[in-house]
Structure 1
């Protein structure tokens, strides 16, 4: 099993626009028992990936509670970089 941060990056090579909630839903089955599998840690991983240029913030919205939901996506170039360094 890949480290959680790797799995988060690989998510963006197979899925389009995603928020923290969507990433967590997809990874839940494999990572729900990991101590670091929580919203705060996943948001931190997404922000780190964005700061490193591997994903980009492409949209934002408000949920029913008025909480900001940020959506990220990986470009084709970023997908190629991720796939070069992290195997399936």
Structure 2
């Protein structure tokens, strides 16, 4: 069942789209491993991660809220996810 609620990880000044709460572990775990290993493909995100020593906050939003945030990291994934809901 689709919840219509989506998770965003806030790291410093950047916001990273993760997906529906039921998929957080599946999607966040590989990203977290890359960040902790210093190998994130998104250089600005890696720099924020290093600067804030891994501190992050997860927030939850509706699709209509997130569609307006075109600066979200992984915004294209949000659009794909919305097509399948």
- TM beyond 0.5: no
Calculate the TM-score normalised by the size of structure 2. Answer: 0.29
More strand by share: 2
Calculate the TM-score normalised by the size of structure 1. Answer: 0.29
